[in-house]
Amino acid sequence: MPAAAVNAVNAVNAVNGATAATATTSTAATPLLAVHDLRAGYGRVEVLRGVSLEVRTGEIVALLGSNGAGKSTLNNTVCGLVAPSAGRVVFDGRDLTGAKTRDIVRAGLIQVPEGRRVFPNLSVQENLELGSFARARERRAANLERVYTTFPRLAERTRQLAGTMSGGEQQMLAIGRGLMAEPRLLILDEPSLGLSPLLVEELFALIARLHGEGLSILLVEQNVGQSLDIAGRAYVLENGTLRFSGTPAELLASPELKRAYLGL
């Protein structure tokens, strides 16, 4: 495996895993992920301004917002790719604030990044194997079989270079790579971006299926309607600040919120 790809995988990929462990109830008292008053940015530019949210075991939580709202910065700060200036990130009771990305991945907090970020000059199987580089390496073969069962199209293209695949196929590959690390929480950053309406439908059906198998998911999206259809709770982020948190029904019941933040 090329050394450059191995070195890149933790930074590009706070990603990786197979099917999650059996979920406990989503009303568990202690959140699986708890973000407390998080502040972060780039240089002197503060992007996140005191963001707090939580994801409980067994939940799908939607994080909604327009371009530039700070969603990807939040993901990358939680996953150790951006250093916070203040606040805390607690995962499964463990304070991971400022931890190295590889340690966050090893804890089971996995991100499928925006834009898919597959390695174009590596094959489908090589991309998937990199997903288990930092976690679940000893179960790589079994997890490959699970990913190929979930995505039969990938099983047909094991030796194909990732860069020659369609956008939808690359998104399957990115999610499969994330599943190779057996995530306890999977963060999906704009997974529907650039996909056709038909592929978007298939993607959200897949996300719902993974959740039904016990996977906890933080779904970061601009596709409001589809996200609210499958999420149990939602947050709305605007200019680095949370403007709403609650159930999809509560969000959709507010004409002001729908108009101001969701374009509905």
Q: Which residues contact residue 93 at a Cβ distance below 8 angstroms, ignoring those fewer than 6 apart?
A: 30
* Mean predicted lDDT score pLDDT of the chain: 85
In this structure, which amino acid lies at residue 99? A
Residues 139-146, mean pLDDT to the nearest whole number: 90
**Span of 17-21, 33-37, 188-192 with lowest mean pLDDT:** 17-21
Domain boundaries, the chain: 3-21+29-262
Query: Which one is predicted more confidently, 97 or 256?
Result: 97
With a cut of 60, say whether residue 227 has pLDDT above it: yes
**Span of 136-140, 188-192, 239-243 with lowest mean pLDDT:** 136-140
The CATH number of the domain covering residues in 3-21+29-262: 3.40.50.300
On whether the CB atoms of residues 216 and 58 are closer than 8 A, the answer is yes
Residues 5-29, mean pLDDT to the nearest whole number: 42
Over residues 23-70, the pLDDT tens digits come to 334 444 689 999 999 999 999 899 999 999 999 999 999 999 888 899
With a cut of 80, say whether residue 5 has pLDDT above it: no
pTM of the model: 0.84
* Max Cα distance, the chain (Å): 53
Over residues 59-83, the pLDDT tens digits come to 999 999 888 899 989 999 999 999 9
With a cut of 50, say whether residue 241 has pLDDT above it: yes
Q: What are the Cα distances from residue 50, in Å, to 37, 99, 108, 161?
A: 4, 19, 25, 42
On whether the CB atoms of residues 134 and 105 are closer than 8 A, the answer is yes
The pLDDT of residue 23: 39
Question: Is 22 buried (19+), middle (13-18) or exposed (0-12) by CB count in 10 A?
Answer: exposed
The pLDDT of residue 147: 93
The pLDDT of residue 260: 65
Residues 5-23, mean pLDDT to the nearest whole number: 41
List helix spans (H) across the chain: 3-12, 71-78, 101-106, 124-131, 140-150, 152-155, 167-179, 197-212, 224-230, 248-252, 255-257
Confidence of residue 9 (pLDDT cuts 50, 70, 90): very low
